[in-house]
Amino acid sequence: MAVGHGAGLLAIALALSAAGSAHADTAPGEDQVRVTEQPATGQPGKTFTAVTLIAAPVAKLCGIVQDYPSYASYMPNTKSALPVGAGEGYVLVDMTLDLPLGQEKKYRLRLDADASGNQCKLSWKLIPRPDLKQSDTIADTTGYWLFRPAAGASEKSVVEYHVYADPGPVPFGFGWIVDLMSKRSLPRTLEALRGRAATM
C-alpha cells in the first residue's frame, strides 16, 4: 500500500512496465533495495520501481500484503487500511495516511490479486471518493507488488514494488509530500515487509 501499502503501503498501481520490470538474475541482495525512477509519460505524478530480495517464499509474502487491516501495524505512514467492499478477484480498501506536520490523506483503492504459476501479483488503482475534499485526498495512484521465486532458492523471493503517485495540489512548503508518497517511501515499505515476514 502503499503508499507506504505501504504506505504505508500502499497506499498502495497495476500495469506491469517492461522498463520497470526487474528479473531474478539482476535482483539486489537481501540487505539492499534498488530504486529507479521511470521515464515521465506526460502525467503529473512520478513513477518509481523498487526491487529487493526477501528471505520468504512467494505465498507467504503474497498473503502478508493481502492482510489489509494489518497494514497500520507495520507499514510506514499508514494510519489505517479498511476493506469496504469486494467483488470477483478484487477488494476495495479505504486508506488513510498519517503524514508529518499533521497532514492526513485518505483515498480508496481497488486491489486485484493474481497468482499464476509460481508468482503472485497484487495490483491497485485509485477509485474516486466524491465524499472527500480535494485537499483531503490524492489525485491518483496506481501500482503493483510482484513476487517471484529467487533463482535457485524457492524459499526466497524477488520483490518488485512499482508505484505511480500524484498527490495533487500541494500547499506551499509541502513539496516533500510528493517524495514521501513515492521515492522516499519505497525502501521503507520494502524494509517493513521484510521485517513483517521475519516475525511471522
Q: What is the CATH number of the domain that holds 50?
A: 3.30.530.20
The answer to whether position 1 is within a domain reads no
Cell numbers 488503482 correspond to 125
Nearest Cα residue to 4 out of 80, 87, 82: 80
Residue 127 in contact with residue 12, Cβ under 8 Å?
no
For 128-157, write each residue's pLDDT tens digit: 999 999 889 989 999 999 999 999 888 999
Question: CA neighbours within 13 Å on the CB side: how many for 132?
Answer: 17
Containing structural domain, residue 165: 24-198
The answer to whether position 15 is within a domain reads no
The answer to whether position 9 is within a domain reads no
The answer to whether position 4 is within a domain reads no
The answer to whether position 5 is within a domain reads no
Residue 155 in contact with residue 61, Cβ under 8 Å?
no
What's the pLDDT at 72?
Answer: 94
The answer to whether position 17 is within a domain reads no
What's the pLDDT at 172?
Answer: 44
What's the pLDDT at 166?
Answer: 85
Beta-sheet strands, E only, within 117-152: 119-127, 140-150
User: In which band, very low, low, confident or very high, does the pLDDT at 61 lie, cut at 50, 70 and 90?
Assistant: very high
Given its phi and psi angles, is residue 191 left (phi above 0), alpha (psi -120 to 50 degrees) or beta?
A: alpha
